[in-house]
Amino acid sequence: MSGVSKMLRPKLRKRKNKASLISWRFKLICSCILMSLCGLLSRIAWLQVISPDNLVKEGDLRSLRVQAIPTVRGMISDRAGRPLAVSVPVNAIWADPQELYDLYNAGGVTFDNRWKALSDALSISFDQLTTRVKANIKSKGTGRFIYLARQVSPEISNYIKNLKLPGIHLREESRRYYPAAQATSHLIGFTNIDGQGIEGIEKSFDKWLTGVPGERTVRKDRYGCVIEDVSVVDSRAAHNLTLSIDEHLQTLVYQKLSNAVEFNKAESGSAVLVDIKTGEVLAMANSPAYNPNNLSNTPKETMRNRAITDVFEPGSTVKPMVVMTALQRGIVRENSVLNTVPYRVNGYRIKDVVRYNKLTLTEILQKSSNVGVSRLALAMPPSALLETYVRFGLGKPTNLGLVGESSGLYPQKQRWSDIERATFSFGYGLMVTPLQLVRVYATIGSYGIYRPLSITKTYPSVAGEHIFPESFVKTVIHMMESVALPGGGGVKAAIKGYRIAIKTGTAKKVGPKGRYINRYIAYTAGIAPASHPRFALVVVINDPKAGKYYGGTVSAPVFSTIMGGVLRSMNISPDALLPSDKNKLATHRNKNTNVRS
């Protein structure tokens, strides 16, 4: 027995040693596995709990997409709510070069008949289209967006969508449409292809008309399908704009002005109509005009709003202010008679088109006598006319809010020669815009109340500032009525059934060298009805070449047709003078009617 036990002991020891080795290895492996698990768990905790931002960012870059929520540009309408500028829905056709690259390498892009149909729909040659597409898919990383066409109509867009071309997508946008077209082109202006105002009201009120686009953040799967709405930032809607313009009157003014420019073979023409009671601009037109819905081949100079940018010497249209100033300062009385025989000042001869030995104040305006008003001016201090002109707004911008408005040219002199004072009284030595001149006549029509002009609808109307005594203004308005009566220089401006107070004018144009040339500007400014003035109108015809160039023969008939149409359209009751009243104003000394003012 003892021998057997001795033989078994070594075997038992070996078994024990082997079991302890296995146990040690097991513990080592378990420890390593445990440590690995701890490391993995620590890394997971670090990535998922402690510092997950980077991982989340990487994931969002692959799945999150930001979609713009577009906002439509505000509508521009006239005072009655009729649309003058609206945004219509269209689409942009664009290609994804990255998507086309992947498909191209996989052999999935073949320029078959569908591409030919796309080129026909976009009016692009097939070769031009394929060349442009291939140029953007030859190399990886060329971008994810290229335009193929902009402002495509919904009908063509749906046709392209149904072609189901790979890598070709549609994007919603809008296009500006102008219902009145040429009639409001200079006033309303237009936008560029991205909806930014470039000219006119569109540019001047661009911030007001432009909203703020919103954003929609979504999560997409690998197939491009939206699986989650993450966040939404609402868009801020654009503001609509209601103008003081009356579309019907605007169209009337534009049509009559265009006819006159064509008839007189003139370079251009401008007309501005203002509501005297409120200062609102009811119409502002220029000719020639352009079509804002189709700007192809439109020269830039045609886009200029001449009513606010172009300046000219106002000529005889300032003479009513000279008479008002003389009455106010006591230089003359309403029934005064002046010596109007031609005379010399500083070596220059002051004369009228027709010689008159003496004229009353009414006759000075009726005959548009340069001699008469210059004698009044020389009897006053040099500052007198300067102050009156400035009070009525000459030399100052109207602050209408339109980009590009000129403030005119106004002399800033300390010393004036007699000849400068004389010519200043009949409208030479300063320059104004048609808009500034109509503001002067709107102030006259409101009996000396100066109101700011407005291109937007105003309610209630602005009270205004009294800048000249009402009695003198009314007296001069009564005198101005004689201009359109027989014997006056503006008889062709007469409107049957209505009393009007006007002044016509003619000025030579200044040439490139700063000297007067034998080209003319004819204009007529006035108010109606004269008994209770409601509207002020200025008509300017630039460089007529049909043979006649005086304001009384060129612009006065246009004034008559426009103002007559306005009065009838607005249902203004006739206030024609009685024959006995006409005899008080009309002067028949000269049997031949003079219309050369």
CA separation for the pair 439, 276 (Å, rounded): 9
Return the closest-CA partner of residue 506 out of 493, 487, 525, 491.
Answer: 525
R_g of the chain computed on alpha carbons: 40
CA 7, distance to chain mean position in Å, is 117
- Token pair belonging to 528: 């109606």
Burial 144-171 (b: 16+ CB within 10 A, else e): eeeebbeebeeebbeebeeeebebbbeb
- Token pair belonging to 202: 């569109």
What is the SS3 assignment for 146? strand
3-class SS letters over 196-227: CECCHHHHHCHHHHCCECEEEEEEECCCCCEE
Catalytic one of 270, 287, 316, 446: 316
CA separation for the pair 144, 147 (Å, rounded): 10
- Token pair belonging to 529: 């009805």
What is the SS3 assignment for 334? coil
Burial 411-424 (b: 16+ CB within 10 A, else e): eeeeebeebbbbbb
Which uninterrupted H or E stretch holds 425?
helix 418-425
DSSP string, 229-290: EEEEEPPBPPPPEEBS--HHHHHHHHHHHHHHHHHTT-SEEEEEEEETTT-BEEEEEEES--
Instruction: Identify whether 573 is a catalytic site residue.
Output: no
Determine what percent of the chain falls in helix, strand and coil, rounding each to the nearest 5: 40, 20, 40
- Token pair belonging to 252: 């009337």
Residues 6+ apart with CB under 8 A from 509: 312, 516, 517, 519, 520, 521, 543
Contact 593, 487 (CB under 8 A): yes
CA separation for the pair 200, 180 (Å, rounded): 14
DSSP string, 492-515: GG-BTTB--EEEEEEEEEE-TTSS
End-to-end CA distance of the chain, in Å? Answer: 158
Burial 513-550 (b: 16+ CB within 10 A, else e): eeeeeeebbbbbbbbbbbbebbbbbbbbbbbbeeeebb
Q: What are phi and psi of 470, to 5 degrees?
A: -60, -40
Q: What are phi and psi of 329, to 5 degrees?
A: -90, 5
Catalytic residues: 316
